[in-house]
Chains A and B, each alone.
Chain A
Amino acid sequence: EPEVTQTPSHQVTQMGQEVILRCVPISNHLYFYWYRQILGQKVEFLVSFYNNEISEKSEIFDDQFSVERPDGSNFTLKIRSTKLEDSAMYFCASWQDRGTDTQYFGPGTRLTVL
């Protein structure tokens, strides 16, 4: 069964450093998303991406964040200058057709900012 993959599974970084979280969505999917989950809290929407551009972003997704789909398979989330409060689990999701089926989530990347 096709699945969404994410790398790395765990990333530790120093405050102020840039990180790139990588995702490979399911190949025939059209809609892509990033969510985050601070430990013990709910899953929060960050950004949606369709047709090679951002279709919606939350207020969490400020200028420090960016997304790219550079080669038609990878979907990346970059945090330019990490803060302690960016420590969270980051989930990538993809959806083939919003009229049917569901969003499939990757296993997540746990980001720890020291």
Chain B
Amino acid sequence: AQKVTQAQTEISVVEKEDVTLDCVYETRDTTYYLFWYKQPPSGELVFLIRRNSFDEQNEISGRYSWNFQKSTSSFNFTITASQVVDSAVYFCALSEAGSGNTGKLIFGQGTTLQVKP
């Protein structure tokens, strides 16, 4: 069965601190995609990154970086030098890509990040 766990329900940091959001997933498929979405207070889901299971390269985009480790089934997200505008709920999601799969996303519970000035 597929499952995504975000064990951190809420994190509070002070501006300029670095913060890491954890994501652990379970799947039986050998081919899958992992995603991070941001949900600001306005409610929309904003795509941040997609990772294919065969690509374990870490990625950096500005202040954001992602650490994908298949050995531990984790796909963690780090924000460097956090800013107040980073305050949001962050969701990790999994989509299995094997034959017969429909592409549905399975989301974790989300981590609420509060960045205080």
Contacts and interface: CB of A to CB of B under 8 A. Distances in A.
Do A and B come together as binding partners? yes
Interface of A: 31, 33, 35, 41-45, 48, 50, 55-56, 89, 91, 93, 95, 98-99, 101-105, 107-108, 110
Given A43-B105, A48-B103, A56-B104, 7 more contacts: A33-B103, A41-B109, A45-B106, A103-B35, A103-B95, A105-B37, A108-B43
Given A107-B43, A107-B44, A108-B43, A98 B95 contact: yes
Interface of B: 33, 35, 37, 43-45, 47, 50, 91, 93, 95, 97, 102-110
Contacts of B45: 43, 91, 105, 108
Given A31-B102, A48-B104, A102 B44 contact: no
B33 to A, nearest CB: 8
Contacts of A33: 103-105
A89 B35 CA distance: 20
Contact of B108 (A42, A55, A108, A110): A42
The majority secondary structure among interface residues of chain A is strand
A13 B87 CA distance: 32
Contacts of A108: 43-45
B103 A45 contact: no
A105 to B, nearest CB: 4
B102 A43 contact: no
Contact of B107 (A44, A50, A98): A44
B50 A102 contact: yes
Contact of B103 (A35, A41, A44, A98): A98
Contacts of B47: 102-105
A48 B108 contact: no
A55 B44 contact: no
A31 B43 CA distance: 23
Nearest to B91: A43
